[in-house]
Amino acid sequence: MTSRTATNAIAERAGKQYAAGVKRVFTDGRALRRTDQPGPRLRGPARSRRADGARCAPGRMLWLAALALAAAAPAGATTYYVDCTAAGDQGDGTSTATAWRTVGRVNGSVFKPGDSILFKRGCVWYESLYPPSAGTPDGPITFGAYGTGANPVISGANRLTAWTREAGRIWYARQPSEIWSQIWVNNRLGDKKAAKNQLVNEYDWWWDASTSRLYLYAPSDPDTLYTNPGVEAAQEAMAIYVGRDHIVFENLTAEKAAYANIAGGDPGDHVIVRNCLIQYGSRGIEVGSSDGPPYAGMEIHDNEVRYCRTTGISVIYKASNCKIYRNRVHDVDYTFPEDPAGGGWTGTIKIFDDTGTMDNIEIFENDCYESGPTPNDASGVGIWSDFVKPATSVQIHHNRVYNCRGGGIFIEAVKNHHVWANLVHNCGTNTVYDNEWTAAGIRVDTRETQKAVDNAIYNNTVYGGRAGILVASYSQGAGMEISRNLFKNNILLGQTEQALIAMLGGDNSPPYGIGNLYENNCFGPEFTGFIRWGSSSKSSYASWEKAYGGPTNSVQADPKLTNVDGGDFTLLASSPCVDAGTDVGLTFSTALLPGSLWPTRVLTGDQSKAGPRWEVGAYVFVPPSTFVPRKVIRSQQP
């Protein structure tokens, strides 16, 4: 098994390999390609097309939309238009009639704060976007869309055409450079093979470096068989490069880049990515690098991220005051067996930092699901924080995480993390490892010489999976510690093995860990071995509390959730979890309400106003006539 440390190192080396192909010289606002190394590049002439192949003149509504955008822009700002059906780049770009044709024209321009660059809906560009200018706090530069129809697509792929039959069902097309293991055939991932004689099924492919040919097994001519959108090969390292301050990306589709669809090792401050579709590729969004500068104020929200190999959204190294919210992230670990960055540890949302500088990160109201390809694979985490040790906190709250086979929420070798009011179900189902490696709905662990300390896990509802909560270390070196972590007001129900696993420090066994508190939780009805405490399993609350060293105020009964088979994890009026919790502070008082829909309509109520005591679990029970719900859209930190 490849370790998580090794996986991070592989991923970073891969990113640097791609990034080495770009010399970051912006004398004229253009990223220049080095000619001595492979990597991301701006191709010319650009190849662009309408998604439906049609040439459509703008109508009255398009003009009205354009005028509305212009009216909303800051004084002195200009709106530019990019249309893949335009005659060329000779126009000034300031009207739909004089629109530019290529992304390369955008990359080579200089923009002012407040400017907007709008791409025509329905168009696809096989070019990477490199914003050439920075905005200001009062005048961000916006890259968005105009017109009607599907989002404009910025693709990191190369469309392969002019196929020639070699023999039988083996076809080839010219592909002069390596493909980084990713071929899509009408958006279906191709199956890479090691040699031409292994091409025996549809979608099998092999690239011959000696002849610069890509071979594909297809029943008939791929030029006519595959047209929606065709055969595409990942070519550019990224589709959209994030590298300037005060930039907004909205209403775009970024797809099929070799490394990450939206990426930047030096992502700039106060960058916003919103209302975008990010799909197909090794990574959806990845920003930050170990040798890049600190960055702050990034917001990633209201996007759909899907069909990625390693991570959907990844914020790494030196980030501060960043928010990831209201995203729908799913189908991660989309099988790329030859991806050099893959290593079996993937997540829909991941943050990572081993520099000690990441701080004040908030992850909330996201819908994360379908991570990890098979029950026999160790990969597939929902939300994952690795090595992050903020001075203030990381907040993970009001998310729904489900069908993530490697685990729901995973905080590893971290401190000052607050994980609260999340709904996690049917996560942690893979069967690869046991004991301290057991897949779980919520996992807190550490390793080697690292510490997992001073974290708070409050008011979560975890249903299903092999284990509800796991607290452990899995390799013990000098200074390793898992201590002072607080577990309160959580519901753990429906696990197939243990509701709670606490061992190798999680069970307060010096020198590995002390001061971990487990209070006011509901582990459901007792069953044989439902709690693992240290080296032994406990089949009753009484035997566990004896080993624990005192009372835990646990709810020792079925929590009576409304309809778990139907996906309703709210509390019935008769639930013993109503008014059975403990007040853990104003910061954590907002609980989920019935009627919440992820990620667009997450409703919350105040625990401290709903009854004499807090509830156990993620939901608050309040008679509808006595409570007015509100939607959380801003930080809950004090």
Q: For residue range 45-97, what is the model confidence (pLDDT) as tens digits?
A: 333 433 433 333 333 344 444 444 444 556 689 999 999 999 999 999 999 99
With left for phi above 0 and alpha for psi between -120 and 50, is residue 333 left, alpha or beta? left
For CA atoms 622, 628, 633, 638, give the dihedral sign. negative
Q: Which whole number is the average pLDDT over 390-401?
A: 98
> Two tokens at 142?
């916006």
pLDDT of residue 34: 22
Peptide bond into 599 cis (omega under 30): yes
Query: What are the angstrom distances between the C-alpha of 280 and each of 121, 124, 186, 284, 573?
Result: 19, 15, 12, 7, 44
Q: How far apart are CA 530 and CA 462, in angstroms?
A: 14
> Does the structure show a pLDDT above 90 at 222?
yes
Say what the pLDDT of residue 622 is.
77
Instruction: Calculate mean pLDDT across residues 120-142.
Output: 97
DSSP strand E in 1-150: where?
22-23, 32-33, 48-50, 79-82, 116-120, 123-125, 141-146
**Residue type, position 113, single letter:** P
Nearest to 427 by CA among 489, 474, 469: 469
> Can you give the pLDDT at residue 374?
62
Question: Where do the domains of the chain lie?
Answer: 22-154, 157-234
Question: Kind and range of the H or E element at 363?
Answer: strand 359-364
296, 463, 500 from 490: Cα distances, Å? 32, 11, 11
DSSP assignment, residue 26? -
Residue 39: pLDDT band with limits 50, 70, 90:
very low
CA 278/CA 280 separation, integer angstroms: 7
Q: What's the pLDDT tens digit per position in 251-308?
A: 999 999 999 999 999 999 999 999 999 999 889 999 999 999 999 999 999 999 999 9
Residue 406's CB: how many other CB atoms inside 10 A? 27
Mean pLDDT of the chain: 86
169, 205 Cβ separation under 8 angstroms:
no
Average pLDDT over residues 468-473: 97
Euclidean distance between the first and the last CA atom of the chain, given in angstroms as a whole number: 42
pLDDT of residue 2: 33
Q: Which residues of 64-93 are buried (b: 16+ CB within 10 A; e: fewer)?
A: ebbeebeeeeeeebebbbbbbbbeebebeb
pLDDT of 351 strictly over 90: yes
Element (H, E) at 568: strand 568-571
**Quick one: average pLDDT of 619-628?**
72
Helices (H), 123-175: none
| Length of the chain as a residue count | 638
* Rounded-to-integer distance, Cα 227 and Cα 613, Å: 61
